[in-house]
Amino acid sequence: MIAQALVSGLLIGFVFALIAAGLTLIFGVMEIVNFAHGEFLMLSMYLSYFLHAGLGWDPIAALPVNAVALFALGVVVYYALIRRVLRAPMLAQVFATFGLGVFLQNAAQFLWRPDFRTLGDTWVSGRLSLAGVYFSGPQLAAAAGAVLTTAGLWWLLSRTEIGRALLATAEDRQAASLMGINPDRMFALAWGLGAACVGVAGALLSTFYYVFPQVGGVFALIAFVAVALGGFGSVVGAFAGGVLIGVVESLAGVFVAPAVKNLFVFAIYLVVVLLRPRGLVGKQ
Amino acid sequence: MSRRVALALAVLAVSLVSPRAPAAPPAEVVIGAVYPLSGNLAKVGNDIKDAIELAAELVNDDVDVPVPLGKGKGLPNLGGARLRVVFADHQSSPEKGLSEAERLISQEKVIALMGSYNSNVTATASQAAERLKTPFLNADSTSPLLTARGFRWFFRTTPTDDEFSENFFKFLGEMKKRGKAIKNAALFYENTLFGTDVSKFEKKYAQQYGYPVVADIAYDAKSTNLNAEIQRLKAASPDVLLQASYTNDAILSTKTMKELDFRPQAILAMDAGHVSSEYVPSLGKDAEGVVSREVWALGLGAKKPIVRQVNDLFRKKTQAGRGQPIDMDGTSARAFVGLLVLADAINRAGSTEAEKIRGALESTDLPGESLIMPWRGVKFDPKTHQNTLGSGILVQIQDGKYVVVYPFDLAAAEVRWPLPAWGK
Amino acid sequence: MKVAIAAAAVLAVLLFPLVFRGPYPQHLMILVLLNALLGTAWNILGGFAGQISLGQATFFGAGAYTSTLLFQHAGVSPWLGLLAGAAVAVLLALAIGYPCFRLSGHYFAIATIAIGEIAGIAVTNWEFAGGAVGLFLPVEGEGLAAFKFGDKLGYYYVIAALLAFSVALAAWLRRGRPGYYWRAIREDQAAARSVGVPATRYKQLAIAISAALTAMAGTFYAQYLLFIDPPSVLPLSLSIQICLVAVLGGAGTLVGPLLGAAVLVPLSAATSVALGGSGRSLDLVVYGLLIMLIAAFEPAGLVGIARRLRRRGSP
C-alpha cells in the first residue's frame, strides 16, 4: 500500500512541480506572484482540447504548440499589464494578476461554456502494472514530461548565456543592467518561460484530467504552496516542494483520511516556513 | 326631494346593487427562478432554465401534449394570462440566493419563486420567500432538512435523499434474494452538503438492513486527484460501493478506479455526477454497469409516451438555443414538472394573490399520468409540504444508455451483475 | 468642507432605509455596510500596519460559528455571542500572529491563505460544528434582544452602528501611537525596530483588533442570513473580496474601505443582474477587468483617483 501511495503521489507531484517551477521563475526574477498562473494552465488545457477535438492532434504531440503559445501569452501579459505595476506596491501587483485570473477564468466560461471536457483516447492512455503497483499511463507520461521540462528549464538557467542573464537580473536588477542586460527583456523572458512551463503542464494534464474553466484554481493553490515551500525563486526548491506535496497528499490521504489530505499540505507549509522562513531552498 | 338628488340616489342604489364588473385579469403572470446560471454548476442551471422555459411555453401555447395546462393558451382561470419566468443567477452562493430571491419578489414583483438546486442556497432563498410571504417551489434539492423547518410557504416536489437511500438497500435485498452474495458496503462521497447528507442516510439504512460499512470515505470534490481515496477503498474490499459525487469527481473517480484496478460487485451512485450528460461520453466503455438512483429516465418513455414527446420538444429547444440537441435528465425533468405544478396551482387559485396560491398548492393533487415523472402524482403533506407521492428508480448504464432496472415492474431490462472486470 | 461631506454621508446612510423602503435596496446597503466594516478591519492590519492578510475569512467564520454554536447549544444571547466570537477571534489572531509575523511579505500572505484553507477544511469535517451541512438558526423569535428582525431596518441600523464603531476606532488608533508605529513598521520594519519600535507587539495589536471586528461582522452575518456553512463564511474568495474592498477604495486611508464597498457591492450586484442571468459570466469578466485596471492604473484606489482629480482641479 505504501508503495502505491508513494508512486501515485510522486507521479502527480511531478506535475505540481512543473507548475510550481514556472511560478517561481517569475517570482524569482521580479518578485511578483502570478495569481493568474492557474488560468494559464487552464488556457493551455483548452488549447490541447481544441487541437485534439478539431484537428485530431494528440496532446503530447502538440505539446510544442502549447509551449510556444503560452510563452507568447506570458510575454504579452508582461508588456500589457505587469510592466505597469513593477514599481507599484505589492498589493497592486497582487491584484493585477488576480484580476487577470478572474478575467481569464470567466472569459473562458463565457466563450466555451462551463461543460467539462475530456480528451478521448490519446497516445498515452492505459496503465502499467509493476509488482502489484499500478502506474496510470497518462500520469506516467505527465510525470516524465514534467521532469524533462523542469530539467530543461534548470539547464537553461544554469548553463546558457541567456539563463545566466536571467539569474543575474533576479539577483540584482541594477547591477545586471549596468552589465548591459536589459531588465525589461529579462522580465518578459521570465514571464514567457514561466508561462511556457505551465503550458507544457497543461498539455500533459489534459491527457487525464478534465478541462473546465475553473480547473486552474485547484492546481494554482498547490503551486503557491509548493513555491513558498521550496523558497520563492528557486526552481529546484519549487520542484522539491511540488513533489513533496504530491507525496504528502497521497500518504495523508491513504493513511489518515482523504477528506483532510489538503489540510496536511497546508500544515506542512506552515511548519516549514516557520522553521525555515525562506523555504527549504529559498533565495533572498 | 329635488329631481337631481333623486337621480343621484337612484344611480347610487343601482350601482350598489348591480354586480361590479370584475377587474381585468392580468395579461401576464410573472414567476421568479433562482438557479446557478454561472460558475461550476452553470450547465445544470442552464438545463433547468431550458426546461422551465419549455414548460412555460407549453402552458402559454395551445399544444397537443397531455401535460397539465397544455391545452389552451395561458392560464384559463386567469383569462388566458401568459406565464413569464424571470431568471436570476445565484452563483452557488447562499447570500446571493437570498438577495436574488428578494430582488425578484420586491423589484420584479414575481408572485412565486422556484429554486435553487444547491440545497444550501435553497435554504436561504426560501427563507427570503418565507419572510416575504411568497410561495416557493423546490423541484430539485434533496436535503431533507429543507422540509423540516416548518415553513408555510415552502413546497417540495422531489423525493429526498432519505427515500433514495433506503431504495438502494431494498434493491440490494432483492438482489440477495436472487442469489448474489452481498455482505458489506463502502461509502464514498463528496464532503459538502450533498454527499454528507446522503451518507448519513446510507449509514442509517446500512445498519438497519444489516450491511457492515467497511469504509466510510469523504473526499474533497475539488481534489486534483483521488488516488489516495481509491486506494483506501480498494484495501477495504467492499462488495458494493455507495457513491455520491458531482460530475467532475464522478468521472475522475471512475478513471482512477480503472487505473488502480478497483472493482466492487456494484457501484450504486446517488444521481448527480453519474447521470450527468458528460459521464458516459467521457468514459465510454468504462462507465458500463454503474447503477444510479434516478428520479427519471428517458427509458420511461417505453411505458409513458408523454416522456418521449416532451423530450423531443426539449431537444428541439436546446438545438435552437445551444446549437446541439440535449436529452432531458432527472434535473431538467423535475424542473419541468415543478413549473407545471406551480402553474396548475396558480390556475386553480384563479388569482395572483399569494395566500390563494399557497392554499391552492396545499390542495394540489396531480395524477401521475399527466407527469413525465415515475411518480404516483403530486400531493403535498399538510405539515411539511413534501410531495408524498414521489418515488425514485434505479437505472443502470447498459451499452452506453441509462436503462431502468428497478423497481422490477417498471424495469426495461435485467440488471447486469456484477460489474465487468476492467478492460484495456 | 470635509466635515460637511462626512456629515452629509452619515445623514444619507441613516436616512437611506427610511427613503428606500424596498427589501432589495435595503439588503444591498446592508451588504455595503458589512463589506465596509470588513474592509475597515482588514485595513487596520493591511493598510495601516502593512501586513497583507488574505485569510480574513478565518476570523469571519470564527465569529459566525462561535455565536451560532453558543446559541444552539447553550442558549446564549447572540449579543453575548458577538463578544464571545470577537474574543475567540482575538485568541486565534494572536496564535496565528505569534509564529507568522516572523514571515515577510508574500510568505506571510500565503501563510494566511494556508490558514484560511485549513480552517475551511477543519470545519467542513467537524460534526459538532455542523460539518458540510452547516448550521441553521431558527427563523422565529424577533426583536432587538434576539438579534433578529422581521424586516431589514433593525439589521440595517445594527450594522451601521458596528461600522461607525469600527471607523471611529480606526480613526482613533491611527491618530495615536499605534498608528504612528504602524506606519513606521509598514514603511520599513527593520528601521523601525532599530529605533525602538516594538514591532511584534504592535503587529499583534493590529491583527487582534482586525480579527475582533471581522468576527463581529461574522456574527452579524449569521444572524442576518440565519444559515452558515463553510463555503459561505470561510472561503478564500471571501478573504480576497475583503481585501479588494479596501484596496479598491484606497488601503491605508480611513475612507478607502467605505468607498470601496460603496462601489464594489452595487457594481457586483448590477453586473450580476444585467449580465449574469444569461449564465455566461459576463459580469465576472467585467469584475476581473476592473480589478486589473485599478491595480495597473491607480493602485491608491478610488481615494487616489479623487486626490488626483482634486489636484488637477485646483489652479
Does a structural domain hold residue B140?
Answer: yes
- What domain range includes position C100? 22-236
Does a structural domain hold residue A104?
Answer: yes
According to the model, what pLDDT value does residue A284 have? 47
Which residues in chain B have their CB less than 8 angstroms from residue C284's CB? 38
> Hey, how many other C-beta atoms are within 10 angstroms of the C-beta on A68?
13
**A276 inside 8 A of chain C by CB:** no
Which residues in chain A have their CB less than 8 angstroms from residue B261's CB? 127, 129, 134
Asked if residue A276 lies in contact with residue A232, where contact means CB atoms within 8 angstroms, the answer is no
Cell digits for B40? 461550476
According to the model, what pLDDT value does residue A232 have? 74
According to the model, what pLDDT value does residue B2 have? 58
What's the distance, Cα to Cα, between the start and end of chain A in Å? 40
- What domain range includes position A39? 2-111+138-275
Does a structural domain hold residue B171?
Answer: yes
Please determine, for residue B27, whether its predicted confidence score (pLDDT) is greater than 50.
Answer: yes
Q: Which residue in A has a C-alpha nearest to residue C285's C-alpha?
A: A103
Does a structural domain hold residue C95?
Answer: yes
* Average pLDDT of span A221-248: 86
pLDDT tens for each residue of C39-76: 999 999 998 998 889 899 999 999 999 999 999 999 88
Does a structural domain hold residue B201?
Answer: yes
Which residues in chain A have their CB less than 8 angstroms from residue B255's CB? 208
C24 in helix, strand or coil? helix
The confidence band for A279, taking pLDDT boundaries of 50, 70 and 90, is low
According to the model, what pLDDT value does residue B9 have? 55
Same domain, B35 and B74: yes
Does a structural domain hold residue A122?
Answer: no
The confidence band for B184, taking pLDDT boundaries of 50, 70 and 90, is very high
What's the distance, Cα to Cα, between the start and end of chain B in Å? 106
Record: contact B193-C133, CB cut-off 8 A? yes
Give the best residue of C227, C282, C284 to mutate against chain B (max B CB count within 10 A). C227
**A86 inside 8 A of chain C by CB:** no
Between C151 and B77, the more confident residue is B77
Does a structural domain hold residue A284?
Answer: no
**B217 inside 8 A of chain A by CB:** yes
| Total structural domains within chain C | 1
pLDDT tens for each residue of B373-383: 988 899 999 99
Same domain, B206 and B288: yes
In angstroms, the CA B255 to CA A178 distance is: 55
Within the 252-281 window of chain A, which residues sit less than 8 Å (CB to CB) from chain B?
252-254, 257-259, 261-262
Please determine, for residue C3, whether its predicted confidence score (pLDDT) is greater than 60.
Answer: yes
Please determine, for residue A186, whether its predicted confidence score (pLDDT) is greater than 50.
Answer: yes
| Total structural domains within chain A | 1
Q: Where are the beta strands (DSSP E) in chain C?
A: 135-136, 227-228
The angle that helices A2-30 and A37-50 make with each other, rounded to 10 degrees, is: 110
Cell digits for A252? 495523508
pTM here is 0.80
Residue type for C148, please?
A: K
CA distance C284 to chain A (A): 6
| CATH assignment at residue B267 | 3.40.50.2300
Report the residue count for chain B. 424
Record: contact B192-C278, CB cut-off 8 A? no
In angstroms, the CA C55 to CA C42 distance is: 10
Give chains near A: 3+ CB pairs under 8 A: B, C
Q: DSSP H helical segments within A207-257, as ranges?
A: 215-230, 235-255
According to the model, what pLDDT value does residue C279 have? 45
Considering CB atoms only, which of B88, B99, B196 is closest to C27?
B99
Q: What is the DSSP string of B97-128?
A: HHHHHHHHHHTS--SEEEE-SSHHHHHHHHHH
Q: Which residue in A has a C-alpha nearest to residue B221's C-alpha?
A: A259
pLDDT tens for each residue of A12-46: 899 999 999 999 888 888 888 888 999 999 999 99
According to the model, what pLDDT value does residue A48 have? 93
According to the model, what pLDDT value does residue C6 have? 84
Within the 260-279 window of chain B, which residues sit less than 8 Å (CB to CB) from chain A?
260-261, 278
- Grid coordinates 416522456 are at which residue? B307
Asked if residue C44 lies in contact with residue C173, where contact means CB atoms within 8 angstroms, the answer is yes
Does a structural domain hold residue B84?
Answer: yes
Does a structural domain hold residue B413?
Answer: no
Does a structural domain hold residue B184?
Answer: yes
Considering CB atoms only, which of B91, B127, B195 is closest to C226?
B127
Does a structural domain hold residue A117?
Answer: no
According to the model, what pLDDT value does residue B411 have? 84
Record: contact C139-B49, CB cut-off 8 A? no
Same domain, B397 and B346: no
The confidence band for B17, taking pLDDT boundaries of 50, 70 and 90, is very low
CA C156: distance to chain centroid? 16
Same domain, B132 and B241: no
Same domain, B289 and B225: yes
The confidence band for C273, taking pLDDT boundaries of 50, 70 and 90, is low
Read off φ and ψ for residue C218, nearest 5 degrees. Answer: -65, -45
Please determine, for residue A278, whether its predicted confidence score (pLDDT) is greater than 80.
Answer: no
pLDDT tens for each residue of A101-147: 888 988 888 888 766 677 766 676 777 777 778 887 888 888 888 88
Please determine, for residue A89, whether its predicted confidence score (pLDDT) is greater than 90.
Answer: no
Asked if residue B242 lies in contact with residue B186, where contact means CB atoms within 8 angstroms, the answer is yes
* ipTM exceeding the 0.90 mark: no
Does a structural domain hold residue C128?
Answer: yes
- What domain range includes position B179? 162-294+393-406
Asked if residue B197 lies in contact with residue B119, where contact means CB atoms within 8 angstroms, the answer is yes
According to the model, what pLDDT value does residue B23 have? 57
Please determine, for residue B18, whether its predicted confidence score (pLDDT) is greater than 50.
Answer: no
Please determine, for residue C312, whether its predicted confidence score (pLDDT) is greater than 50.
Answer: yes
pLDDT tens for each residue of B121-145: 999 999 889 988 999 999 999 888 8
pLDDT tens for each residue of B33-77: 999 987 768 888 999 999 999 999 999 998 888 888 888 888 888
B400 in helix, strand or coil? coil
CA distance A259 to chain B (A): 4
Same domain, B208 and B65: no
| Total structural domains within chain B | 2
Does a structural domain hold residue C99?
Answer: yes
In angstroms, the CA B416 to CA B396 distance is: 8
Considering CB atoms only, which of B40, B43, B424 is closest to A214?
B40
Between C265 and C138, the more confident residue is C265
The angle that helices A161-171 and A2-30 make with each other, rounded to 10 degrees, is: 70
In angstroms, the CA C212 to CA C192 distance is: 26
Does a structural domain hold residue B415?
Answer: no
In angstroms, the CA B353 to CA B69 distance is: 20
Please determine, for residue A257, whether its predicted confidence score (pLDDT) is greater than 60.
Answer: yes
In angstroms, the CA C115 to CA C95 distance is: 11
Does a structural domain hold residue C136?
Answer: yes
Mean pLDDT of chain B, nearest integer: 87
Which residues in chain C have their CB less than 8 angstroms from residue B151's CB? 139
Interface size, chain A vs chain B, as Cβ–Cβ contacts under 8 Å: 105
Same domain, B65 and B152: yes
In angstroms, the CA A150 to CA A213 distance is: 26
- Residue A8: Cβ-neighbour burial (10 angstroms; 0-12, 13-18, 19+): buried
According to the model, what pLDDT value does residue A114 have? 67
> How do beta strands B136-138 and A133-136 pair?
unpaired
Q: Which residues contact C111 (CB under 8 A, 6 or more apart)?
A: A228, A269, A270, A273, C55, C100, C103
Asked if residue B272 lies in contact with residue B245, where contact means CB atoms within 8 angstroms, the answer is yes
pLDDT tens for each residue of C175-195: 999 999 999 988 888 888 898
Same domain, B74 and B88: yes
Does a structural domain hold residue C284?
Answer: no
**B196 inside 8 A of chain A by CB:** no
According to the model, what pLDDT value does residue C281 have? 61
Read off φ and ψ for residue B85, nearest 5 degrees. Answer: -110, 130
